[in-house]
Amino acid sequence: MGKPRPVLFTYRVTEKPFQGIYAHYVSGYSRDGKRIQQWFRTAREAKTVRDAYNAEIEANGTAVSLSPTARLEAIAATEKLARFGRTIAEAADFYTAYLVKAASSITVAELADRVAAEFERRLRENEISRRHFGSMRETLKKFRARFAETPIKLLVGTEIKAWLASLPLAVKTRNRHFGYLRNVFGIAREANLLETDPLERVSSFNDPRKRNGFKVAILTPDELEKFLNAAADDLRAFFALSAFSGLRREEIVRLDWAEVKLDRNLIDLPFEKSKNKKRKLIEVPANLAAILAPYAAASGPVTPRKKLDRAKLSSA
């Protein structure tokens, strides 16, 4: 009578490695009686596979519990995980948690819609400027184009920063988008859509100009004259007002020619167009009046906003 076959799989090591590199192996028998022998580079890998085989046998006996395909997949997965000292159960727990997050999360596209609606409300209520609204809308457009279908709970901060770094933008512009995305994630957290901000531990981009002691330059009178002469005719009034009126950029953009009273050398900015919500009366010096006079009109915007925005983007 022949020797009974061992029920459990065994681990062995040989002095004559298979193919010269595989010295460790596991052997046993399949449920249909066929001998199984698998070779490995290390004892750790071999013992992990042996233990996986034996755990199944001890749990389920020798009755068929997995299909041949499932068994092969389980064995292959065990071999892959052995390199990292992990088990199939740990891998299943990890991936299940990933799937739970994905299933309970809205997408970036859905979040972008919610944030856009919130910023539209803030704009209607005069809580933010139109410039702030436009900047957020630009950030959301780019963010949606790249991550639209990604569940927000699966976003990775370093991946977002790498995407921003890949865009053909100036460092200052990248940091502006970075800041607005922090705003987006703040809104998501307030709405209990996120537990943490993906960018919380991610730093913004280093601006080499600041690192090298860069300072904003002040033009000399001759330089300013050359700049104004080189500016486009329909933007010259905007730049002249920026240089001589003391008004903020957005205040100039909102300014109408009806509020520029050159006959009285006065700019009458209504409170609703002022950043601090107070009416401003600005004296127009003679040099500014001379620059504005050729372009003055009874009414209409002083600055072509779209053209100014295009000029800003092209210089970024």
**276 class by beta-carbon count within 10 Å (0-12 exposed, 13-18 middle, 19+ buried):** exposed
pTM (two decimals) = 0.47
Q: Where in the chain is the domain with CATH 1.10.150.130?
A: 108-211
88 or 58, higher pLDDT: 88
- Please name the residues in contact with 206: beta carbons below 8 A apart, sequence gap of 6 or more: 171
CATH code at 108-211: 1.10.150.130
Cα–Cα distance, 33 to 114 (Å, whole number) = 61
User: What's the CA gap between 219 and 195, in Å, rounded?
Assistant: 48
**pLDDT value of position 117:** 94
280 phi/psi in degrees, rounded to 5? -120, 130
pLDDT in tens, 268-290: 999 888 877 888 999 999 999 99
Cα dihedral sign, 267-268-273-278: positive
Q: Which of the two residues, 310 and 66, has the higher pLDDT score?
A: 310
Region 21-41: mean pLDDT is: 78
Residues 6+ apart with CB under 8 A from 160: 147, 181, 198, 199, 202
d(CA 171, CA 267): 36
168-209 per-position pLDDT tens digit: 988 989 999 999 999 999 999 998 888 889 998 899 998 776
117-175 pLDDT, tens digit each: 999 999 999 888 888 899 999 999 999 999 999 999 889 999 999 999 999 988 989 99
With 0-12 / 13-18 / 19 or more C-beta atoms within 10 angstroms meaning exposed / middle / buried, residue 218 is exposed
Q: Give me the pLDDT at residue 60, please.
A: 66
* pLDDT tens string 238-268: 999 999 988 988 899 999 999 999 999 999 9
Q: What is the pLDDT of residue 1?
A: 45
Q: Nearest-CA neighbor of 153 among 189, 122, 182?
A: 189
Work out the percent of the chain whose per-residue pLDDT is above 90.
35
In sequence order, the 6+-apart residues with CB closer than 8 A to the CB of 39 are 18, 19, 22, 24, 25
The pLDDT of residue 252 is: 92
Say what the pLDDT of residue 102 is: 66
DSSP-derived secondary structure for 240-263? HHHHHT---HHHHHH-BGGGEEGG
* pLDDT one-digit tens code per residue, 93-114: 888 877 777 677 889 999 999 9
Q: Which residue has the higher pLDDT, 58 or 50?
A: 50
The Cα 79–Cα 87 span in angstroms is 9
Rounded Cα distance between 238 and 88, Å, is: 66
Cα R_g (the chain), whole angstroms = 34
What pLDDT was estimated at residue 196?
87
Q: What is the arithmetic mean of pLDDT over 57-78?
A: 71
